[in-house]
Amino acid sequence: MIRKSRDSKSTVSKQELFASTPVPKALMTMAVPTIISQLINLIYNMVDAFFIGRTGNSYMMAATSLTLTLVMMIAALSNLFGIGGGSLFARLMGVRKPEEARKVSAFSIYGAVCIGTVYSLLVGVFLDPLLRFLGASDATIGYARSYALIVIVIGSIPAILSQVLAHLLRNAGFSGQASAGLSGGGILNVLLDPLFMFVLLPKGQEVTGAAIATALSNTCACAYLLFAYRRASKNAPLSISPRSALSTEKNNIRALFSVGVPSAVLTGLFDVANVCVNILAAGHSDLVLAGMGIVMKVERIPNAVNLGICQGMLPIVAFNYASGNHERMQEVIRTARKVGLLVSACCIVFFEIFADPSCRLFLSATAGDTETALITIGYATLFLRIRCIASPMQFINYHTSFCMQAMGEGKKTLLHAFVRELVFYIPFMFLLDRLFGETGLAAALPVGETCGAVFALFLLHKAIQEARARKAAKTV
């Protein structure tokens, strides 16, 4: 009886957080740990680039830029069951269906393991052709191959599973535990990178050392999150039972994929856009590719903060949408939008002023080949000052997409993803690169994101209007 009472009290407290806590406080409670975990999770990739940059080897930096595309695909596959399952889980909690939520959580776990296995096998079989397609040259393919083999072929399953576990914990109201797992993995990566790169492995094997450190960190993070998930399952409808996964209702599986697939496609198309950037940049030179790779890592800092805001917002929006409290839902949406735009504006100011030192963090101009390093930093500084202008529009795209996912609007999310990348960004990329060279390639991001944001706001407005109409029809 004591345990049952404690479970009930915990469930009520989570529902109070979503349903009645003042919006700024509720959003801060959910978003702050998520932002922290996003930032520290960013270390998984950025710390590798930072330490590889200490070698002053622009070709190693170019290789990690190529493999970033394959690493980002892990995020896309994680969203399939993390965003899809997590959003549905929050909506089922909103309509008081804990048993169905429990089944969905278990289905998401085993789905993540299956898709991670398939991805590992496919990359392993087609690794060299993939790297050549992404723009690897004879000077970079060896480094890229060693990194991808360890981080992706060997390490995909724990990397994907840890992200899905974090999403489920966050949507169950355990944002702190999710943050601790991902953050702990990032901190461990910081400690292991220099150990494997500069102590345990010989000179010239720095990329391999970084890959081993990242794979081990992902595995440790996954182990902790599994432990936290099992503990949280005592107080929330979370499950790891194969029987629960197999008994998931077909309508819930469809609902999961209706949000998860668009979310995965959204990230996957972003990855496709990065592939195009890499191919076009590599067409200019390996140093342009390295410079663009540095910028794509630096600009992920404001993106991580904004994604953290959106991920913290999602379960609150989903809960209130499902429970019919659309006024509170819209207040959450407006509050998150204001915060994200403020963060984006601050980042533009910072990067315009400190573009050069920000880029130098990722490539030493005193170690290795100084001439090529300085040229690479020059390209990166120029690209960063151009691309950072896109930050507010990128946030609007993320924000509206997450809102539509929370509302179960999978078709609109999918439409937005296709239009944003395939109609606007990628065509502008090829057009502006052709007209203005590498400068035009950098300018394609703010142009494409602005067009995508306008379209996204139109879709979100339409989704909210349709939700209001459905609610009005039910009350008549």
Rounded distance between C-alpha atoms, residue 84 and residue 262, angstroms = 9
Report helix, strand or coil for 99.
helix
Q: Please give the average per-residue pLDDT across 46-51, as a whole number.
A: 70
Predicted confidence band of residue 365 (pLDDT cuts 50, 70, 90) = low
Contacts of 382 (CB under 8 A, 6+ apart): 291, 439, 442
Predicted confidence band of residue 5 (pLDDT cuts 50, 70, 90) = very low
Instruction: Indicate if the pLDDT at residue 237 is higher than 50.
Output: yes
Instruction: Indicate if the pLDDT at residue 66 is higher than 70.
Output: yes
Of the listed ranges 189-193, 223-227, 440-444, 465-469, the least confidently predicted one is: 465-469
Q: Report which of 61, 62, 131 is spatially closest to residue 282, judged by C-alpha positions.
A: 62
Q: Please give the average per-residue pLDDT across 367-380, as a whole number.
A: 80
Rounded distance between C-alpha atoms, residue 394 and residue 446, angstroms = 8
pLDDT of res. 451: 95
Rounded distance between C-alpha atoms, residue 238 and residue 260, angstroms = 18
What are the pLDDT digits (tens) for 179-202? Answer: 788 778 878 888 888 888 888 888
Q: Is the CB of residue 369 less than 8 Å from the CB of residue 58?
A: yes
Q: Is the CB of residue 172 less than 8 Å from the CB of residue 13?
A: no
Contacts of 264 (CB under 8 A, 6+ apart): 76, 77, 79, 80, 83, 84
Instruction: Indicate if the pLDDT at residue 263 is higher than 80.
Output: no
Rounded distance between C-alpha atoms, residue 338 and residue 318, angstroms = 19
Rounded distance between C-alpha atoms, residue 10 and residue 221, angstroms = 25
Share of the chain residues as helix, strand and coil, in percent rounded to the nearest 5: 90, 0, 10
Q: State percent of the chain over pLDDT 70.
A: 91
Q: Is residue 475 part of a domain?
A: no
Query: Cα separations (Å) of 413 from 86, 296, 326, 407, 409?
Result: 16, 24, 19, 10, 6
Q: What is the dihedral of CA 215, 218, 220, 221, to 10 degrees?
A: 170
Q: Is residue 474 part of a domain?
A: no
Predicted confidence band of residue 6 (pLDDT cuts 50, 70, 90) = very low
Conformation bin of residue 324: beta by default, left when phi > 0, alpha when psi is -120 to 50: left
More confident site: 339 or 262: 339
E strand or H helix that includes residue 306? helix 300-323
Rounded distance between C-alpha atoms, residue 104 and residue 92, angstroms = 9
Instruction: Indicate if the pLDDT at residue 34 is higher than 60.
Output: yes
Tell me the pLDDT of the chain averaged across its residues: 83
Predicted confidence band of residue 383 (pLDDT cuts 50, 70, 90) = very high
Q: Is residue 22 part of a domain?
A: yes
Q: Please give the average per-residue pLDDT across 383-392, as a whole number.
A: 93
pLDDT of res. 10: 45
Report helix, strand or coil for 385.
helix
Rounded distance between C-alpha atoms, residue 366 and residue 374, angstroms = 9
Q: Is residue 118 part of a domain?
A: yes
Rounded distance between C-alpha atoms, residue 90 and residue 256, angstroms = 11
Predicted confidence band of residue 12 (pLDDT cuts 50, 70, 90) = very low
Q: Is residue 476 part of a domain?
A: no
User: How many domains, in total, are found in the chain?
Assistant: 1
**Cα-only R_g, the chain:** 22
Q: Is residue 218 part of a domain?
A: yes
Instruction: Indicate if the pLDDT at residue 450 is higher than 90.
Output: yes
Predicted confidence band of residue 476 (pLDDT cuts 50, 70, 90) = low
Predicted confidence band of residue 14 (pLDDT cuts 50, 70, 90) = low
Q: Report which of 304, 302, 300 is spatially closest to residue 312, judged by C-alpha positions.
A: 304
Q: Is residue 170 part of a domain?
A: yes
Contacts of 196 (CB under 8 A, 6+ apart): 208, 209, 210, 212, 213
Of the listed ranges 70-79, 106-115, 219-228, 394-403, the least confidently predicted one is: 70-79
Range of the domain at 381: 2-467
Q: Is the CB of residue 77 less than 8 Å from the CB of residue 264?
A: yes
pLDDT of res. 114: 93
Q: Is the CB of residue 112 less than 8 Å from the CB of residue 160?
A: yes
Q: Please give the average per-residue pLDDT across 408-421, as a whole number.
A: 85
